[in-house]
Amino acid sequence: MTELPDRRLLLVHAHPDDESINNGATMARYAAEGARVTLVTCTLGEHGEVIPAGLRHLTGTALGEHRLGELTAAMRELGVEDFRLLGGKGRYEDSGMMGIADNDDPACLWQADVDEAARELVEVILEVRPQVLVTYDPDGGYGHPDHIQAHRIAMRAAELADDAGWRIPKIYWNRVPRTVADEAFARLQADLPGLPFGKAAVVADVPGVVADERITTVIDGAAHATAKAAAMRAHATQIEVAEPTAPYFALSNELAQPLFTTEYYELVRGERAAEPGAAKETDLFAGVTLGEAS
């Protein structure tokens, strides 16, 4: 077996850009610290709405190819070398938003057999042997079918990996504490006149917002804020980041929302290991026996 770094983090996301929005600072931090950071993206986002007018001719497979290039550029900004597509390029297609005809396409992720897709992810788990898995909650954060399916696949793969010889010690779901979201949107309203966006989103538009007490882990990504913003900016078909360094961005709906450089998680498998006197964990690997890979 190839020698593995002491710390190994696996993230499972639905489309290119989800990783940078949700976990960009976390990924940059651990990559900079020498951990192995592995990203598995389930689709190429072939049905994403394109923001720049000059790129709106891209649809379907052509858009997916372009978004793969954006993902590659984003990973370069975050310092992440190991990023993959579930089952290989083109294995699963974007399902589009919930309730549209694209959901019925046999090739889309929403129609995938969860166990079959999970077994493809198990292959990655057995190779990388992560101590930490990060993915979405059962609602996918906001109800997108591909996000829901990515959650199902990741959680099922963790179960199957247990039987195949590798138990992932800690599993986290992406979260944002409600008070943090409320405070960030209050700042956004004050800053909105100086931003390139006409209107603001609302807290309900942010995936994974929950009551503060559900947050178990807080990753301070301030040192990697520039990398996260650059990674998000690399996903130019999907994201517009306020210039030059304002902590705001917009998706294709053109509604401004906060760019969080502190990232939050809920531990759903494993023992919480907060530092003495600390209310929350500050390290996804807290309490993990490092270096174990067999």
Domain boundaries, the chain: 8-268
Q: Provide the pLDDT for residue 3.
A: 81
Pairing state of beta strands 255-258 and 248-250?
Answer: antiparallel
**Residue 18, annotated as binding a ligand:** yes
Per-residue pLDDT of the chain (294 residues; tens, 9 = 90+): 568 989 999 999 999 999 999 999 999 999 999 999 999 999 999 999 999 999 999 999 999 999 999 999 999 999 999 999 999 999 999 999 999 999 999 999 999 999 999 999 999 999 999 999 999 999 999 999 999 999 999 999 999 999 999 999 999 999 999 999 999 999 999 999 999 999 999 999 999 999 999 999 999 999 999 999 999 999 999 999 997 667 999 999 999 999 999 999 999 999 888 666 678 999 999 999 887 665
Q: Provide the pLDDT for residue 102.
A: 94
**Residue 47, annotated as binding a ligand:** no
Pairing state of beta strands 170-177 and 262-269?
Answer: antiparallel
Q: Provide the pLDDT for residue 293.
A: 66
Q: What spatial distance separates the first Cα and last Cα of the chain, rounded to whole Å?
A: 9
Q: Provide the pLDDT for residue 246.
A: 72
**Residue 144, annotated as binding a ligand:** no
Name the phi and psi angles at 195, rounded to 5.
-100, 160
Q: Provide the pLDDT for residue 1.
A: 52
Q: CATH number for 8-268: choose from 3.40.190.10, 3.90.550.10, 3.40.50.10320, 3.40.50.300.
A: 3.40.50.10320
Give the bridge partners for 37, in sequence order.
9
